[in-house]
Amino acid sequence: MDKPTPTIAAALAATTPDGLPPRQRAFAFLAIAIAVTMAVLDTAIVNVALPSISQALAVDAAQAVWVVNAYQLAVTVSLLPLAALGDRLGYKRVYWGGLAVFTLASLACARAPTLALLAGARVVQGLGAAGIMSVNIALVRSLFPKAQLGVGMGYASLTVAVSSAAGPTLAAAVLAVADWKWLFLINVPLGAIALLVAALALPASPTSHRRVDALSVLLNALTFGPLIGGLGYFGEAGGAQRGGALVAVGLACGAALLRRERRSAHPVLPLDLLRLPVFVLSLATSIGAFAAQTMALIALPFYFERTLGMSETATGLLMTPWPLATALVAPLAGRLSDRFAPGRLCIAGMLCLAAGLAGVAALGGTPDRIGIAWRLAVCGLGFGLFQSPNNRVIMGSAPRERSGGASGLQALGRLLGQSLGAVAAALLFALGPADPTAALATGAASLALLAAGTSAMRRKPAP
């Protein structure tokens, strides 16, 4: 299905350059880094700004959450269709178009006078972000030689980690001197710069005759939209019935999508990649790892503020060792994955994460800040050691001409893991003891161990 013949595959390999010259590669990666930073920062800074947005638009907190939900749902339902479009039109075109939409929608967000218009602008912004995230790893693969694929994945992981760490601090700094609209306006000049650099430096990507089936795109939206949205309701009081109904709709539409995609020569859901054992195991490992990380990162602020009585500022500082350690380790892990079996690095990373989380579970009610910091640093080190090698396996196990589909599934797997981790955390908060931190950390550690076991099932590293 949709697999190039050996002759076509050989021709593609012969005509596709093995990476870019170092100088052009640096400029091209700069364009990718700016856009990915904007997309990652946007989630973090808007979360921090929700109280200000709620007050300015005269809406309650429950309504203001739609500013976040509208964006996340738009990203989720459009990742795979845009990845398929990238395989058809070329990754550069989809990426550049997504970045342009994201930048213009940021301006619309800043000018929105009502919640409805802001949520609508956030939907459009989410579509732009999906254009960026659906093909960014595929573009990174095209920039770096095959022998340095791990290095490229390491730099990509570094970009995400630094953006995640900087998000709350940047939002607080902007809100200290300006209103919430400037959190969106800062995207406009950054986006313009990234668009210019991307137009000049990103390589033209191969195109194909793959068609994107409109009904499959609709079924994809009706699968992942209700599925992700429904999972979120399980953590709310009285939300199980509504969540169950949405999940049931998503699963039913997913079954219809699978039936249609099996007969399609150009599936939106990359079934050809899901038949590759190494790819599937790597994707499952990624889902488990992100679920574990999300569970912990949701629990920790409640533990610091409610159990230990710390301020928001102190909480932010204490959370910093995790993304900081990830940022420091990710490039090194990427380089190591080009020399050693990536699967072994992934196992080591998940075992390290599990050990750090077990340490968090044992903190108790009166820990010292140094004890907290080194445990979170161990967690971040483990996640950084895992992420770059695992992304290398995901991309390296897919044929080069299917890089778009692989990139889209990698991004979707991250979102699924984060959603499952959030649901698990919400359920433990609802059903667990008054201070469920130990239970959450233990559950997250168990997920990390499960991810390590899944990684160990991979028989051979990616080429």
Picking from 157, 172, 207, the residue at the C-terminal end of a domain is 207
**Tell me, what's the pLDDT at 15?**
44
Per-residue pLDDT of the chain (463 residues; tens, 9 = 90+): 444 444 334 444 444 567 788 888 888 898 888 888 888 887 767 766 777 888 888 887 667 777 877 888 888 889 889 988 888 888 899 999 999 999 999 999 999 999 899 989 999 999 999 999 888 888 888 888 888 888 888 888 888 877 876 776 777 778 778 888 998 998 999 899 989 988 888 888 777 777 778 888 899 889 988 887 787 777 666 777 888 898 899 999 999 998 888 877 777 888 888 888 889 999 999 999 988 888 888 778 778 877 888 876 677 778 888 888 888 898 899 889 888 888 889 999 999 999 999 998 888 767 888 988 999 999 999 999 998 899 888 888 888 878 888 888 888 888 888 878 877 877 777 676 666 777 878 888 888 999 888 888 876 544 4
**Tell me, what's the pLDDT at 249?**
93
- Three-class secondary structure of residue 213 per DSSP: coil
Cα gap 411→80, rounded to integer Å: 9
C-alpha distances out from residue 341 to 407, 458, 462, Å: 21, 11, 8
14 within domain boundaries: no
Picking from 207, 235, 251, the residue at the C-terminal end of a domain is 207
**Tell me, what's the pLDDT at 94?**
92
Indicate if 72 and 188 belong to the same structural domain.
Answer: yes
DSSP state of 425: H
Half-sphere exposure of 221 toward its Cβ, with a 13 Å CA cutoff? 12
For the record, the structure tokens of 452 come out as: 């390590």
Picking from 157, 174, 207, the residue at the C-terminal end of a domain is 207
Cα gap 221→126, rounded to integer Å: 14
Indicate if 258 and 282 belong to the same structural domain.
Answer: no
431 C-beta neighbours (distance < 10 Å), count: 9
416 within domain boundaries: yes
The alpha carbon dihedral of 124, 129, 131, 134 has a sign of: negative
Cα gap 449→288, rounded to integer Å: 9
Host domain of residue 172: 21-207
Indicate if 235 and 183 belong to the same structural domain.
Answer: no
371 within domain boundaries: yes
Cβ-proximal residues to 280 (8 Å cutoff; 6+ apart), any chain: 274
Cβ-proximal residues to 338 (8 Å cutoff; 6+ apart), any chain: 147, 148, 149, 150, 151, 392
Indicate if 307 and 407 belong to the same structural domain.
Answer: yes
Q: What's the CATH number where 413 sits? A: 1.20.1250.20
Indicate if 72 and 107 belong to the same structural domain.
Answer: yes
Indicate if 399 and 298 belong to the same structural domain.
Answer: yes
122 within domain boundaries: yes
Indicate if 201 and 217 belong to the same structural domain.
Answer: no
Half-sphere exposure of 25 toward its Cβ, with a 13 Å CA cutoff? 17
The number of folded domains in the chain is: 3
Indicate if 26 and 164 belong to the same structural domain.
Answer: yes
The alpha carbon dihedral of 80, 84, 89, 91 has a sign of: positive
**Tell me, what's the pLDDT at 27?**
87
113 within domain boundaries: yes
E strand or H helix at 357? helix 342-361
pTM for this structure?
0.80
43 within domain boundaries: yes
**For the chain, what is the total number of helices (H) and then of strands (E)?**
18, 0
1 within domain boundaries: no
Q: Is 185 exposed, middle or buried (0-12, 13-18, 19+ CB in 10 A)?
A: middle
Residue count (the chain): 463
15 within domain boundaries: no
AA identity, residue 400: R
* Greatest Cα pair distance in the chain: 66
DSSP state of 344: H
DSSP string, 429-443: HHHS-SS-HHHHHHH
Q: Is 438 exposed, middle or buried (0-12, 13-18, 19+ CB in 10 A)?
A: middle
CB 282 within 8 A of CB 393: yes
Indicate if 285 and 316 belong to the same structural domain.
Answer: yes
Indicate if 156 and 283 belong to the same structural domain.
Answer: no
**Tell me, what's the pLDDT at 57?**
87
Indicate if 40 and 187 belong to the same structural domain.
Answer: yes
Indicate if 217 and 181 belong to the same structural domain.
Answer: no
